[in-house]
Amino acid sequence: MIPQSEAELADLLATASAPMQIRGGGTRSLFPARGAVLETRGLTGITLYEPAALTLVVQAGTPLAQIRSLLAAERQRLPFDPPDFAALQGRSGLSTIGGVAALNASGPGRLQAGACRDCLIGLRFVDGTGRVVKNGGRVMKNVTGYDLVKLLAGSEGRIGVLSELSFRLQPLPETEVTLVLEGIPARDQAAVMARALTSPWDLSGAASDPAAGRVWLRLEGFDEQTRYRSAKLRERLAHGDVTLMEGAASAALWADIRDLTPLSGAEAVIRHSARPSHMPGLLEVIAQTAAAQVLSDLGGGWLSVGCRAADAPALLRALQARAAVEGGHARLLKAPSDLPAGLALRQPEDPVTARLSAAIAAKYDPKGLFSPDTPPQKA
């Protein structure tokens, strides 16, 4: 099913009676579809683009690459730096902006600009009854009504099918530089990044490779200002083994961090979100559970963990158990083809949140058409 318009999508959902899987470009789903698939790639195109107002309104099925190309021509970008996991997942499809919003997918830019949901200023979606719902607007000063924008971003298609999205944009910086610190023990990396992030020098990225002992710190802005800030940050850190990456080399590095390119060879990938101060303890949990490759982002607040398929269930359970105690969230980003029965692909909700989620789903999806991915189970 590939509706070509919002009206066609509404008609389809109004008469649907069986559960279906919602798919954009198919680059973020964990498993092959089982049953009916509703694809949004027919809902494509730019509805409104006003570079002077830093505003973009776009159909949900529009490829992310097309949007990036359009914005780059005007030296603008989506502030939250959305990742494209096609290479990570080994998929040939094109990531769509609706898929980005449905998962609240954000990259290193989230550190400074906020997540996808923070950059969304309005949207349209069709719920499980075929009703078209609009929330927010096409300007940044719009605060009327319930904030369904925040609710839909990250809902993973469980409330409705996104049809149109409105974003605030950001000018591309004149200069981008990255300080590369070498020889930083894994246990100290979160503290080093925290020292940089609590400085007045306004970082737009802080990531690390625990095994390699390497920390990356990104600064962006006007050329003279950025170079001054990077020099002052280097003085603050007082670390001897520092190199400077600039321009295209720096941009390529952060694109790899954003898209988790270093983990593309892993059979399974888990993302753990928590306080950066928890990073040393989490690294111990990972090391005690399985042989894994770890990439940190957001100052150590995100740990992306690549491992063998056989180790994924135990590692996911260990990280989810830790998150249940300390706070945080662990979920699969890339999964093997078969998983044990009962394995939670994302952090289980606490009872209060689960009741709220069920009540919202009952209102917007009374026929039970939408459901998140469920793993094929071993016999």
pTM as predicted: 0.88
Contact between residue 77 and residue 68 where contact means Cβ atoms under 8 Å apart: yes
CATH 3.30.70.920 intervals, the chain: 175-259
Domain with CATH 3.30.465.10 in the chain: 6-171
Q: How far apart are CA 310 and CA 290, in angstroms?
A: 10
Torsion of Cα atoms, 331 then 99 then 133 then 371, to 10°: -50
Matching residue, tokens 């950059």: 119
Query: Shortest CA distance to 26 belongs to which of 120, 146, 157?
Result: 157
Measured between alpha carbons, how far is 206 from 110 in angstroms, rounded to an integer?
11
Counting other chains too, the contacts that 21-24 makes at CB distance below 8 Å and 24 or more residues apart are: 21/157, 21/371, 21/373, 22/102, 22/157, 22/161, 22/370, 24/60, 24/61, 24/95, 24/96, 24/98, 24/99, 24/102
Please provide the CATH number assigned to the domain covering 6-171: 3.30.465.10
User: What is the fold, at CATH topology level, of the domain defined by 175-259?
Assistant: Alpha-Beta Plaits (3.30.70)
Looking at residue 9, its pLDDT comes to 92
What is the full DSSP assignment across 222-262? SHHHHHHHHHHHHHHHT-SSEEEEEHHHHHHHHHHHHHTGG
pLDDT, position 379 = 39
Tell me, what's the pLDDT at 30? Answer: 62
Give the whole-angstrom CA distance, residue 353 versus residue 359: 10
Which bin fits 154, alpha (ψ -120 to 50), beta or left (φ > 0)? left
Residue 172 identity:
L
Q: How many CB atoms lie within 10 A of CB 166?
A: 24
What is d(CA 351, CA 311) in angstroms, rounded to the nearest whole number? 28
Q: What is the pLDDT of residue 196?
A: 95
* Alpha carbon of residue 325 to chain centroid: 24
d(CA 155, CA 309) in angstroms, rounded, equals 26
pLDDT along the chain (379 residues), means of 10: 90 87 73 72 92 94 94 96 88 85 92 92 91 75 64 87 93 96 95 95 96 96 94 88 92 96 94 95 96 96 95 95 93 85 86 88 87 54
Contact 90, 116 (CB under 8 A): no
